[in-house]
């Protein structure tokens, strides 16, 4: 199978996400993580099961020490030139669970970029010291460019896209899928469910990535509820048509609440405004989830949010068991640990973990 070393940058750049996905692995193993489209249903099932295994092992001291010894010889760079709290800390915690040493650059004013160094040269410098680079940037396509550059260098190291412009946020989509897997594990899984996306769907990269991952499941209905100016983009719609996925565009939030198995709320992405006050001129109050909506929501449905939130979910909702956004956030630590362990070939070691002193495989607790 072809890799990034075997395709010119200009040709790679012209491919859509489905075309890029097969080029991102090395030796049939997960390597770069750049787009949601590189994960199959089998991949998602395997990563979800591995994440659950990691979280169970980590509950006890011996298990956590075992995990922390797996990648003690590896180092990770967290290069977050775009502000982040949850994603940064989630990756940091995932690395610590597996024993990786972590370096960070969160303000380019403290790096050589302040002196005029290009981001490309900065990342190549990081690859001299670290075994994995996690990148978050407001520049779309930068993670893809750096993955190609490093794959064609003398020191190829994995690039993880932790948010790239308005394009993709694949590891957020992984934690979203993992949350849905766990939420619906007693309801025959994600197949056949109605997933309702609400809010700023035009500029929300989490929506774009999760929508792509959901196409791996059978008979999932995707509904996009937003003001007309913020409705999901045409390229996402075309992807869904091409994959023959049922979807609906609407501005009627109230109608969709009782039909939803999962409601995925999003905030206004006004950091992408092209003029001052652009987003403020759009009335989004009709798309806020309040305590009153809980009475109309299915008893086994879930309310999700990638966070941070503003007014789009009332704090009155927080203590309802169907509000899973805090669990969703914590799930990110586990699924990212599962992903990192897979990149470095440690999944068999984790799945084969045995309780010390017994010779028995660690008993799994629900």
Q: Among 86, 166, 298, 322, which one carries the catalytic annotation?
A: 86
| Given the residues 87, 194, 206, 266, the one annotated as active site | 87
Beta bridge partners of 103: 77
Cα dist. 144→183, 271, 294, 340 in Å?
32, 22, 41, 18
What is the C-alpha separation between 44 and 30, in angstroms, rounded? 12
Q: Determine the distance from the C-alpha atom of residue 280 to the mean position of all C-alpha atoms in its chain, rounded to a whole number.
A: 28
**DSSP assignment of 275-305, as one string?**
STTTGGGS--GGG-B-GGGGGGS-TT-EEE-
Any catalytic annotation for residue 193?
no
Nearest to 30 by CA among 241, 130, 22, 238: 22
Helix (H, G, I), strand (E, B), or coil: what is residue 338? helix
Q: What is the DSSP string of 54-103?
A: HHHHTTSHHHHHHHHTTTTT-EEEEEE-S--SHHHHHHHHHHHHTT-EEE
H/E stretch holding 250 reads strand 247-250
For this structure, is 309 an active site residue?
no
- Active-site residue, 85 included: no
CA dist., res. 191 & res. 188, Å (int): 7
Catalytic residue among 53, 136, 293, 362: 136
Pairwise CA distance, residues 358 & 126, whole Å: 42
Name the active-site residue from 61, 115, 319, 360: 115
d(CA 309, CA 316): 13
358 is catalytic: no
Which among 20, 32, 169, 336 is annotated as catalytic?
169
Output the CA–CA distances (angstroms, integers) from residue 175 to 104, 172, 180, 213, in the order listed: 22, 5, 9, 11
**Whether the Cβ atoms of residue 261 and residue 195 lie closer than 8 Å to each other:** yes
365 is catalytic: no
Q: Which two tokens stand for residue 352?
A: 């084969």
End-to-end Cα, the chain, rounded Å:
39
Catalytic residues: 86-87, 115, 136, 169
């Amino acid at each position: 199978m072809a890799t990034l070393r075997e395709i010119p940058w200009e040709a790679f750049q012209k491919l859509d996400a489905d075309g890029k996905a097969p080029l991102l692995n090395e030796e049939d193993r997960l390597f770069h993580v750049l787009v949601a489209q590189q994960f199959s249903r089998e991949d998602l099932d395997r990563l979800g099961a591995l994440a659950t295994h990691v979280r169970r092992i980590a509950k006890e001291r011996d298990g956590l020490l075992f995990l922390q010894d797996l990648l003690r010889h590896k180092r990770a760079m967290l290069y977050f030139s775009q502000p982040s709290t949850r994603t940064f800390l989630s990756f940091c915690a995932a690395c610590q669970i597996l024993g990786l040493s972590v370096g960070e650059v969160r303000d380019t004013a403290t790096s050589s970029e302040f002196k005029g160094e290009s981001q490309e040269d900065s990342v190549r410098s990081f690859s001299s010291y670290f075994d994995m680079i996690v990148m978050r940037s407001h520049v779309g396509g930068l993670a893809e460019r750096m993955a190609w550059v490093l794959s064609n260098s003398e020191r190829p190291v994995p690039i993880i896209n932790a948010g790239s412009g308005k394009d993709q946020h694949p590891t957020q989509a992984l934690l979203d899928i993992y949350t849905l897997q766990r939420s619906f594990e007693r309801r025959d899984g994600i197949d056949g469910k109605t997933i309702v996306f609400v809010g700023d769907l035009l500029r929300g990269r989490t929506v774009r990535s999760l929508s792509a991952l959901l196409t791996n499941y059978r008979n999932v209905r995707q509904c996009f509820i937003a003001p007309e100016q913020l409705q999901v983009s045409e390229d996402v719609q075309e992807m869904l048509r091409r994959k023959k996925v049922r979807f609906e565009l609407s501005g009627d939030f109230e109608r969709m609440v009782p039909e939803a198995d999962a409601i995925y709320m999003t905030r206004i992405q006004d950091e992408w405004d092209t003029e001052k006050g652009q987003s403020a001129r759009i009335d989004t109050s009709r798309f806020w989830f309040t305590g009153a909506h809980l009475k109309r929501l299915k008893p086994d449905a879930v309310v999700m949010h990638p966070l941070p939130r503003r007014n789009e979910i009332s704090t009155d909702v927080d203590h309802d068991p169907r509000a899973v956004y805090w669990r969703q956030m914590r799930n990110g630590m586990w699924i990212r640990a599962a992903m990192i362990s897979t990149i470095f070939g440690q999944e068999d070691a984790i799945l084969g973990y045995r309780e010390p002193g017994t010779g028995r495989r660690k008993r799994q607790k629900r």
